[in-house]
Amino acid sequence: MLETTIAGSLPKPAWLAEPERLWAPWRLEGAELEEGKRDATLIWLKEQEDAGIDIVSGGEQFRIHFVHGFLEHVDGIDWDKKTKMGIRDNRYTVDVPTVTGPVSRKGPVHSDEVRFVRPHTDKKLKFTLPGPMTICDTIADAHYGSRPDMAMAFAELLNAEAKELEALGVDSIQFDEPAFNAFMKETVEWGVDALNLARKGLKCKTAVHICYGYGIQENIDWKQTLGAEWRQYEEIFPSLNNSDIDQVSLECANSKVPLSLIGLLKDKDVLVGAIDVASTNVETPEQVAATLQAAMEFVDPERTVACTNCGLAPLPRDVSVDKLRALGAGAALARKAL
Ligand code: ZN
């Protein structure tokens, strides 16, 4: 009961990529880079185990960007044809690559990573993939002519990938869908259908991570426009509760999401974010326990998993380690109190 896990990314060691920077370029290349990614992954497995994290992940040490890390292995995309696009409903404007033909995987994307990680831990292993709607919000379309159609095409690729990772021993696959709180109407209309297709036939646990983003300036500015209560999820939780996904990950630490909205997810496990990723202040175990207990007013302990709000990647490495420990210790406190 009250297992612990993390939402996704962890910082890269300074010898692997520039620290405290989101999507920092690699500092190594060639064979040294590949060795560095593996070494960094081992460090984070050990840190998670030492911190008492039950469902561990490789911390996304093999990829720079959570969407492009997948798209780089997909045919049908022209990386030289950049299109200026306002993504997450114009929260950021970026030059994105363009889909110019039917998409297909060049081959397995993350299998080698999982083959490496799996034998190194006896804990349950979690793996994160971008969700189909978020992919479509991170790439321009000059082929499909319809976002839902493009999302379904990507969902098929994600499904094939997820099935391979499951066969290699992954216990939990999480689809990251930060686009879900920027496009609530579209989420209900077709985003959840695309997510169902991405998880179709999987027997392992499946989760969706929705969030208000890393603690970068664009997100901080955007959050200030959302008012005193963030009720966006109210529109999408009924659809998510009817989806085939087992678990929903959301931020509860220093968040303005009313915890009562969790009550709309009565058929799902809830990954309760009890670690703020937008602050270098390390939570005390008591604070983590209090966040979990507040959430458990609306979700049974049997359906609660203690988690981070989002990825820890942009934080200093030592702060991230301390936050992992606070998460493990806080969950242990909350467990004891039950
Ligand atoms: Zn997130």
Average pLDDT over residues 25-33: 97
214 Cα to the center of ligand 1, angstroms:
6
Q: Looking at the predicted structure, is the pLDDT value of residue 154 above 80? A: yes
Measured at the CA of 62, the angle between CA 61 and CA 64, to 5 degrees, comes to 85
The model's pTM is 0.96
User: Which amino acid would we find at residue 85?
Assistant: M
Burial of 312 by CB count in 10 Å (0-12 exposed, 13-18 middle, 19+ buried)? Answer: buried
Give me the domains of the chain, ranges plus CATH numbers: 3-67+108-337 (3.20.20.210)
Average pLDDT over residues 228-253: 93
- Distances, alpha carbon 21 to alpha carbons 78, 214, 312, in Å: 26, 11, 11
31 Cα to the center of ligand 1, angstroms:
31
Measured at the CA of 286, the angle between CA 123 and CA 248, to 5 degrees, comes to 50
66 Cα to the center of ligand 1, angstroms:
10
24 Cα to the center of ligand 1, angstroms:
17
Return the closest-CA partner of residue 193 out of 205, 178, 177, 182: 177
Q: Could you tell me if 308 and 277 are in contact, meaning their C-beta atoms sit under 8 angstroms apart?
A: yes
312 Cα to the center of ligand 1, angstroms:
9
Q: How far apart are CA 260 and CA 74, in angstroms?
A: 40
131 Cα to the center of ligand 1, angstroms:
12
For residue 262, the SS3 value is helix
**Both structure tokens of 197:** 């297709």
32 Cα to the center of ligand 1, angstroms:
29
For residue range 114-150, list pLDDT tens digits in order. Answer: 999 999 999 999 999 999 999 999 999 999 999 999 9
145 Cα to the center of ligand 1, angstroms:
28
